[in-house]
Amino acid sequence: MSISAVMHNEDGQPLPSGIVRSLMIRAWLEPDADQRLRIRMVEIDPGRSERSVIATASVDDACDTVRRWLEALQARHGQGQ
């Protein structure tokens, strides 16, 4: 599942696609581990380079990370909360 944030101007129109940033969420189950769930998130910038954001086995950590990433994205582009 991929989350992409599209920024909008004051009129609600989408900004050019160069402003799009993506957060890729990869999740899988490890068959022989105590905590089977594994989650890795990678941010993909407009230049298509990847930066690891978090690797965790916690659903709560993953959800908190997504919330912080989206809030930072809004703040970076002056969209407020």
Pairing of the two strands 50-56 and 37-44: antiparallel
Predicted TM-score (pTM) of the model is 0.64
Q: How confident is the model at residue 1 (pLDDT cuts 50, 70, 90)?
A: very low
Whole-number pLDDT of residue 53: 87
Report phi then psi at 71, rounded to 5: -65, -40
Q: Could you give the 3-state DSSP secondary structure of residue 51?
A: strand
Write the pLDDT tens digit of every residue in 38-69: 999 999 887 778 888 889 889 999 999 999 98
Q: Are 71 and 81 in contact (CB under 8 A)?
A: yes
Tell me the domain boundaries of the chain: 2-76
Both structure tokens of 26: 């990869």
